[in-house]
């Protein structure tokens, strides 16, 4: 095992795949000479040169589309967005083209492109830099959405993403880039897409969370354990395909579930997971599924308001208390 930062784990995965497959290249704003806005692509230019590590203009729609076309025409592009908040400008390429071209042409082509970059809030960046887009993209058929929470998962999953035959959105977090963790140094370490991980075992309540929220839940779980409540933390890791089987198995054991999602409440991951639990595990529920999400409000700047806005461990504890009929 090696201890790597989250960014280093992603970089290691990209590096391995670029070394393995000539067709893989990476492009995006500041990925080459600047070494990456968040240093995820550090050193790649030096190693692979300007052909395969490409700085783009600030033209998300343009370069995302070039990625889509290149993928259709035989390459394996990794398109980095400085944040998924900017990818909204490229949404036509992701949603109307990458996800649909194969189907509408009757399977005549494929589009193995990876769109990656940080997702959701990174602190006080204001309303336009703070949105979680995972559930929005997961809405669309044909898109795979991955949102890992730890370096090891990130490495194993970025490699799977790059090898996928279909478009993948790989979501990271500015605030997790520096986070260190043990990363497998097994040769060609691959984590299959669509498998959840049980990050903590417990009998009292199932808590489902991805990305940064996994760490919020871990904090809450420590607090809850002091009061004798053992949380089973499920990290789906891929929003889509969503591993409901693992979630349902856990819920059938604990009979209670809280979904923690760093997104707004309407139609989010929390809503979907909650719906499926009520349908698939209705007779196992001892309490309605609860969720902890952002409020239906834009991200504020002010620290005080931001803290109010952002889901924290206390809210998770409260939600767990509600489903376990405590306090």
Measured CA distances, 110 to 77, 143, 160 (Å)? 13, 12, 16
19 binds another protein (CB under 8 A): no
Strand partners of residue 172: 118
Written as six digits, the tokens of 180 are: 């260190």
List the one residue out of 303, 183, 320, 194 whose CA is nearest residue 257: 320
Task: Sketch the per residue contact string, 167 through 206, with another protein: x for CB under 8 A, - otherwise.
Answer: ---------------------------x------------
290 binds another protein (CB under 8 A): no
DSSP classification of residue 241? T
Q: Closest separation between CB of residue 186 and another protein, Å?
A: 22
Residue of 2, 75, 88, 225 that binds another protein (CB under 8 A): 75
129 tagged catalytic: yes
Tell me if residue 216 falls in helix, strand or coil.
helix
76-80 and 24-28: which strand pairing?
parallel
327 binds another protein (CB under 8 A): no
Measured CA distances, 18 to 42, 75, 188, 305 (Å)? 14, 12, 12, 43
The Cα 24–Cα 170 span in angstroms is 15
Please pick, among 8, 17, 29, 60, the residue that the annotation labels catalytic: 60
Measured CA distances, 262 to 61, 100, 302 (Å)? 26, 27, 18
Q: Closest separation between CB of residue 116 and another protein, Å?
A: 17
Task: Sketch the per residue contact string, 101 through 130, with another protein: x for CB under 8 A, - otherwise.
Answer: xxxxxxxxxxxx------------------
Backbone angles phi, psi at 3, to 5 degrees: -95, 120
Backbone angles phi, psi at 163, to 5 degrees: -85, -10
182 tagged catalytic: no
Please pick, among 8, 17, 29, 129, the residue that the annotation labels catalytic: 129
Q: Closest separation between CB of residue 131 and another protein, Å?
A: 21
87 binds another protein (CB under 8 A): no
* Active centre residues (catalytic): 60, 129
Binding residues for another protein (CB under 8 A): 25, 51, 54, 56-57, 59, 61-75, 77, 92-93, 96-97, 101-112, 138, 141-142, 144, 164-166, 194, 240-242, 255, 276, 282-287, 325
């Amino acid at each position: 095992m090696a201890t790597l930062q989250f960014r280093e784990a992603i970089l290691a995965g990209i590096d391995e795949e670029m070394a393995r497959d000539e067709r893989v290249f990476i492009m995006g704003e500041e990925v080459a000479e600047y070494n990456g806005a968040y240093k995820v692509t550090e050193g790649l230019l030096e190693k692979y040169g300007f052909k395969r590590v490409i700085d783009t203009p600030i033209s998300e729609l343009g370069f995302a589309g070039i990625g889509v076309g290149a993928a259709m025409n035989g390459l394996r592009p990794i398109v980095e967005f400085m944040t998924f908040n900017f990818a909204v400008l490229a949404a036509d390429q992701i949603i109307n083209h990458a996800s649909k071209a194969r189907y509408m042409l009757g399977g005549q082509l494929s589009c193995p492109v990876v769109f990656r970059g940080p997702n959701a809030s990174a602190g006080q960046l204001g309303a336009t830099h703070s949105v979680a887009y995972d559930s929005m993209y997961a809405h669309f058929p044909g898109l795979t959405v991955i949102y890992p929470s730890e370096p090891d998962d990130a490495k194993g999953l970025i490699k799977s993403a790059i090898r996928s035959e279909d478009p993948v959105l790989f979501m990271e977090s500015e605030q997790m880039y520096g986070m260190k963790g043990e990363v497998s140094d097994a040769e060609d370490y691959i984590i299959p897409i669509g498998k959840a991980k049980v990050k903590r075992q417990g009998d009292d309540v199932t808590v489902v969370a991805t990305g940064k929220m996994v760490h919020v839940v871990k904090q809450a779980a420590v607090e809850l354990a002091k009061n004798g409540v053992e949380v089973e933390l499920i990290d789906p890791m891929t929003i889509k395909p969503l591993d409901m089987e693992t979630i349902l198995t856990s819920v059938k054991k604990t009979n209670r579930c809280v979904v923690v999602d760093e997104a707004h409440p309407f139609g989010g991951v929390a809503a979907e997971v909650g719906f499926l639990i009520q349908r698939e595990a209705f007779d196992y529920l001892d309490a309605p599924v609860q969720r902890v999400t952002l409020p239906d409000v834009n991200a504020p700047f002010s620290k005080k308001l931001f803290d109010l806005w952002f889901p924290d461990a206390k809210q998770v504890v409260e939600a767990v208390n509600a489903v376990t009929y405590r306090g």
